[in-house]
Amino acid sequence: ANARCGGDNCHRGAVVGALLGAANPIPRPFLEGLRAGARVGEIFSRSPSGSPA
């Protein structure tokens, strides 16, 4: 939907992505694919938005 709005859709997409990322936990499969996934999960579990899913 963002691509069809026209205008500065790259900037809008970055902002929407940042907001959705801040509002939702990091999916566990994404963390499992990282070498430091456990550390990332630990850091985000202390954040106000909660822990990874």
The first and second tokens of residue 51, run together, are: 């822990």
Q: How many other C-beta atoms lie within 10 A of the C-beta of residue 45?
A: 13
pLDDT given at position 46: 72
Q: In this predicted model, what pLDDT tens digit does every residue of 12-48 receive, in sequence order?
A: 888 988 898 888 878 888 888 889 988 887 887 775 6
pLDDT given at position 50: 52
pLDDT given at position 2: 65
2-15: average pLDDT: 78
- DSSP state letter for 35: T
Q: Report the SS3 class of residue 8.
A: coil
pTM: 0.48
